Amino acid sequence: MDLPLVYHADYEAPLPLGHRFPMQKFRALYERLLHDGVAQLAQFYEPDPLPRNWIEWVHTPEYVRHYCDGTLDPKAMRRIGLPWSPALVNRTCIAVSGTILTAQLALQHGLACNTAGGTHHAFPSYGSGFCIFNDLAIAARAVQKLGLAQRVLVVDLDVHQGDGTAFIFRGDPSVVTFSMHCDVNFPNQKQQSDLDVALPEGMEDGDYLRTLAHYLPDLLTQIKPDLVLYDAGVDVHGGDRLGKLALTDIGLLRRDMQVLETCAGLGFPVACVIGGGYADDFDALVYRHSILHRSASQVFRQRHL
């Protein structure tokens, strides 16, 4: 059996020129995985349309209605940073559904990866930082509501703090949030995760990996989650224009292998999303996102020999 992967063509919402670049990476990642032999077509699952009331497990009905209907006020749209369109609404809902499907597949098979996801800046009543609905939070609630898992751990290694996720689950012991992020980066006003590790600007591979190793194994053994949701943002890379850390491609590989091997070794299922990445070199960006799937494929094969 091969690693389960999730992709849907509707991840590619048509956007005005100037906004397209960040959205084109999803299809390019899918094609890169196939071209490089990392994945085969038979490994990919397509998410179903998402019932709107599932989004309301996390977000307020008013926000969901106004966003989906295109009646959100201009100030709220500017905070999101993306121009509204029916196509973007559809892409957003499909992407959330994709993370839910990834979580379900991870619970069945031990490990699964989405080719999108990681919209961790979305709060219950508003979006922020290119994030409209919080797919990580909705997926955590979905597996709980469906009776598939009780305790979820969010491991957020995007360079930006997972502020929306932290706010959504504040005071909720059933979902534990761990964010390891650059301290002097967006958002300016941080929220309180269950565990925040703020990193200094310019941190390189060695210090980053040692810091992660100091926290993750103990957290896993303490929490004993039914599911880990892993946000593998590549904006920690030194070549990322929004990052402010200094990891290399090898550092990303070692990070992803460290997370996945640690979780697998302790028997915890992991659902992975790609998180942020904003490099000017598009091909390099797509390759960096593919490192997650390359690492997951290796770990999955090792566990299923």
Mean pLDDT of 216-224: 98
Whole-number pLDDT of residue 24: 80
Tell me the pLDDT band of 20, cut-offs 50, 70 and 90.
Answer: very low
Mean pLDDT of 4-18: 74
CATH number for the domain including 285?
3.40.800.20
- Mean pLDDT computed over every residue of the chain: 94
Q: What is the pLDDT of residues 44-65, one digit of tens each?
A: 999 999 999 999 999 999 999 9
Q: Of 189 and 24, which is predicted with more confidence? A: 189
Whole-number pLDDT of residue 304: 76
Whole-number pLDDT of residue 205: 98
Q: Which domain, by its residues, includes 69?
A: 5-303
Nearest residue to 247 (alpha-carbon basis) of 215, 282, 279: 279
Mean pLDDT of 181-199: 95
Tell me the pLDDT band of 14, cut-offs 50, 70 and 90.
Answer: low
pTM, whole model, 2 decimals? 0.95
How many structural domains are present in the chain? 1
Q: Give catalytic residues, as residue numbers.
A: 121
Question: Does residue 4 surpass a pLDDT of 80?
Answer: yes
Q: What is the pLDDT of residues 125-177, one digit of tens each?
A: 999 999 999 999 999 999 999 999 999 999 999 999 999 999 999 999 999 99
Q: What is the pLDDT of residues 72-112, one digit of tens each?
A: 999 999 999 999 999 999 999 999 999 999 999 999 999 99
